[in-house]
Structure 1
Amino acid sequence: MPRAEKLTIADICEDLGISRSTFYDWRAKHRAPKCITLPNGSLRVRRSEYERWLASREDIA
């Protein structure tokens, strides 16, 4: 099965082991990866953006 190019918030939360509320808190503080808002209001994150965001966190830790 090919890897999805766009991830759901649930995918990201599961991968990071965080709650949805934590993700939305990070998003409100501009600390989450950049999101795409779909016409129905759902959020998606490009896999490339997520991987870039994760790599940028390595230097901070």
Structure 2
Amino acid sequence: MYEYKVFKWNLSTLTLTEELENILNDYGKEGWRIFDIKFGNRTVFFTNPNKNETTIILERVKEN
């Protein structure tokens, strides 16, 4: 069984990519991995810089 964590990232802060990298690395240390990245209602891996927000979905094996 898996559990999921969802958070939004404001794309207007792309100059702070190091901050996002640190956040993802911290989640990785807890066993989370990127499951999907949503932009609007579509799955994307490269987002349109004219939009402001993307949703990042993380997944990990649920501990019993």
The structure with the greater share of residues assigned to helix is: 1
Is TM more than 0.5 here? no
Q: TM-score, normalising length from structure 1?
A: 0.27
Q: TM-score, normalising length from structure 2?
A: 0.26
